[in-house]
Structure 1
Amino acid sequence: MGDVDYPFLMAVILLLAFGLVMLFSAGSAKAFSNFGDSLWYFKKQLFGAVLGVVGMIVLARFDYHRLGKFSFGLLLLSGILLVMVLIPGLGTTTNGSTRWLFGFQPSEIAKFAVILFFAFSLSKNQKMLPDFLRGFCPYLAVLGVFVILLALEPHFSCIVLMGLSSCLILYVAGAKIKHFLIVGFPAVIGAVFMVVKEPYRMARVVSFLDPFADAQGDGWQIVQSLYAIGSGGIFGVGLGQSRQKYQSLPEPHNDFIFSVLAEELGLLGAIILIALFIFLIVRGIKIAAKAPDLFGTLLVTGIVGIVAFQALINIAVVTSSVPVTGMPLPFFSYGSTALCITMAEMGIVLNVSRQSHAPL
Structure 2
Amino acid sequence: MKLMLKKLEEYDLIIMLMAIALTCFGVVMVYSASNIMADKRFHDGFFFLKRQGLFALVGFTIMLIVMRVDYHLWKKLAVPALLICLVLLGMVLIPGIGGKAGGSSRWIKLPGFNLQPSEMAKLALIMYMAYSLDKKQDKVKSLTSGFIPYMIVLMFLIVFLVLQPDLGGALTLAAVAVTMLFAAGTRLTYILSMFLLALPLLAIKLSRGYHKGRIDAYLDPWSDPAGKGFQIIQSWLALGTGGVFGQGLGEGKQKLFYLPEAHTDFILSVVGEELGFLGVAVIIGMFFLLVQRSMRIAVAAPDTFGRFLALGIAVLFGIEATVNMGVVTGLLPTKGLALPFISYGGSSLLISLFAVGILLNISSGLKISPIGIKDVK
Deviation string 1:27-66 (CA, Å, 9 cap, x unpaired) is 2122122211111111111111111111111111100011
Q: Does 1:309 align with 2:295?
A: no
Which of 361, 369, 374 lines up with 1:351 in the alignment?
361
Partner of 1:24: 31
Which of 205, 217, 223 lines up with 1:207 in the alignment?
217
Give the C-alpha shift of residue 301 in structure 1. Answer: 0.9
Partner of 1:83: 90
Given residue 161 of structure 2, which amino acid in structure 1 is its aligned partner? Answer: L
Given residue 72 of structure 2, which amino acid in structure 1 is its aligned partner? Answer: H
Take 2:37 and 2:350, find their aligned partners in 1: how far apart are those partners?
22
* Unaligned segments of structure 1, at least 5 residues: none
- TM-score between the two structures when normalised by the length of structure 2: 0.93
Deviation string 1:142-174 (CA, Å, 9 cap, x unpaired) is 000000011111111110111111111111111
Please, what is the CA RMSD of the aligned residues?
1.3
Which of 245, 262, 276 lines up with 1:235 in the alignment?
245
Which of 127, 133, 139 lines up with 1:122 in the alignment?
133
Given residue 91 of structure 2, which amino acid in structure 1 is its aligned partner? Answer: M
Where in structure 2 are the equivalents of 1:247-262 lying within 5 Å? Answer: 247-262=257-272
Given residue 108 of structure 1, which amino acid in structure 2 is its aligned partner? Answer: E
Give the C-alpha shift of residue 359 in structure 1. Answer: 3.4
Deviation string 1:319-355 (CA, Å, 9 cap, x unpaired) is 1111111221111111011101110110000000004
Deviation string 1:276-323 (CA, Å, 9 cap, x unpaired) is 111111111111110011111111111111111011011111111111
* Structure 1 contact 108–337 (Cα < 8 Å) conserved: yes
Take 1:267 and 1:231, find their aligned partners in 2: how far apart are those partners?
10
Give the C-alpha shift of residue 356 in structure 1. Answer: 3.4
* Structure 2 contact 263–344 (Cα < 8 Å) conserved: yes
* Structure 2 contact 166–336 (Cα < 8 Å) conserved: no
SS at match of 1:147: helix
Which of 331, 342, 351 lines up with 2:352 in the alignment?
342
Q: Does 1:49 align with 2:49?
A: no
Which of 169, 191, 197 lines up with 1:158 in the alignment?
169
SS at match of 1:89: coil
Number of residue equivalences: 359
* Unaligned segments of structure 2, at least 5 residues: 1-6, 368-372
SS at match of 2:99: strand
* Structure 1 contact 292–355 (Cα < 8 Å) conserved: no
Deviation string 1:120-158 (CA, Å, 9 cap, x unpaired) is 111110211101122110000000000001111111111
SS at match of 2:342: coil
Which of 79, 96, 101 lines up with 2:103 in the alignment?
96
Partner of 1:225: 235
Give the C-alpha shift of residue 222 in structure 1. Answer: 0.3
SS at match of 1:317: helix
Partner of 1:173: 184
* Structure 2 contact 11–366 (Cα < 8 Å) conserved: no
Take 1:210 and 1:61, find their aligned partners in 2: how far apart are those partners?
50
Take 1:342 and 1:313, find their aligned partners in 2: how far apart are those partners?
16
Which of 333, 336, 349 lines up with 1:323 in the alignment?
333
Give the C-alpha shift of residue 110 in structure 1. Answer: 1.0
Q: Does 1:38 align with 2:48?
A: no
Deviation string 1:166-220 (CA, Å, 9 cap, x unpaired) is 11111111111111011011222222122123x2110111111111221111100
Take 1:116 and 1:42, find their aligned partners in 2: how far apart are those partners?
32
Take 1:216 and 1:88, find their aligned partners in 2: how far apart are those partners?
32
Partner of 1:266: 276
Partner of 2:288: 278
Note closer, same or farther for the CA distance 1:355–1:80 as it changes in structure 2 (3 Å cut): farther
Runs of 4+ in structure 1 over 4 Å off: none
Note closer, same or farther for the CA distance 1:238–1:351 as it changes in structure 2 (3 Å cut): same
Partner of 2:3: none
Take 1:25 and 1:320, find their aligned partners in 2: how far apart are those partners?
23
